[in-house]
Amino acid sequence: MDSRYIDLTHEIKAAEAAAAGSKEAFCELYGKYRDKLYRYALYRLGDPSDAEDAVSECVLAAWQGLPGLRKPEAFGSWIFRILHACCAKRIKDSIRLRENMQRIYTEGGSGPSDAGSSQASLSVELTEALSQLNEEERNIVLLSVLGDLTSREISEITSLTPGAVRSKLSRSLAKMREYLS
């Protein structure tokens, strides 16, 4: 029997138990996805502390929303959908804060302090290659590569068809390869 099938069967049972209120099962599922969630948030947000906060918000929202999980076999895409929303909210809040700081600065207040780059932990080349993509392309690449999600799962998050996801992923990776060469 294929070990991937065994892992999926075990994950489904853990998701069912977690949805029924088992903290241990939820912790086991979180342990399986923790690194992937963090990497996705880190590449999406570019800041380790923001990534940690987004993952924490995601895990809390997932725990609270577990009773509404309709498809235990889709736990992975479900939790990434939650993280995607948490990251989008953080980006939106960051833009609003930046706009407010800029308004204060242009109205005669003191300028925002330069907090130094926290992207030192990211590969500079990969970050630059990702920056060549638009937000939609970047999300698709990150969900595929870091989230290990299928085109169908990504399509549920992005509201694109699976075919469009595959096409955009292929073109995005080609853009990145071209930039890196």
Q: What is the pLDDT of residues 18-50, one digit of tens each?
A: 999 999 999 999 999 999 999 999 999 988 989
CATH number of 123-181: 1.10.10.10
Dihedral sign from CA coordinates of 43, 44, 49, 53: negative
pLDDT for residue 118 = 37
Residue 180 is predicted with a pLDDT of: 80
176 and 130 in contact (C-beta within 8 Å)?
yes
The rounded distance, in Å, linking the Cα atoms of 67 and 57 is 17
Q: pLDDT at position 24, please?
A: 95
Q: Please, where in the chain does CATH 1.10.10.10 lie?
A: 123-181
Please report, rounded to a whole number, the percentage of residues in the chain having pLDDT higher than 70: 82
Q: Which fold has domain 1-117?
A: Rna Polymerase Sigma Factor; Chain: A (1.10.1740)
Mean pLDDT, the chain, whole residue set: 83
Q: What is the pTM of this model?
A: 0.64
Residue spans in the chain of domains classed CATH 1.10.1740.10 = 1-117
Max alpha carbon distance in the chain (Å)?
Answer: 69
Confidence of residue 102 (pLDDT cuts 50, 70, 90): low
pLDDT of 116 above 80: no
Report residue 64 as tokens.
Answer: 């609270």
Helical segments of the chain, H only? 3-19, 23-45, 48-65, 75-106, 124-131, 135-145, 151-158, 162-180
Q: CA 151, 74, 150: angle at the middle one, nearest 5?
A: 15
Residue 62, pLDDT > 60, answer yes
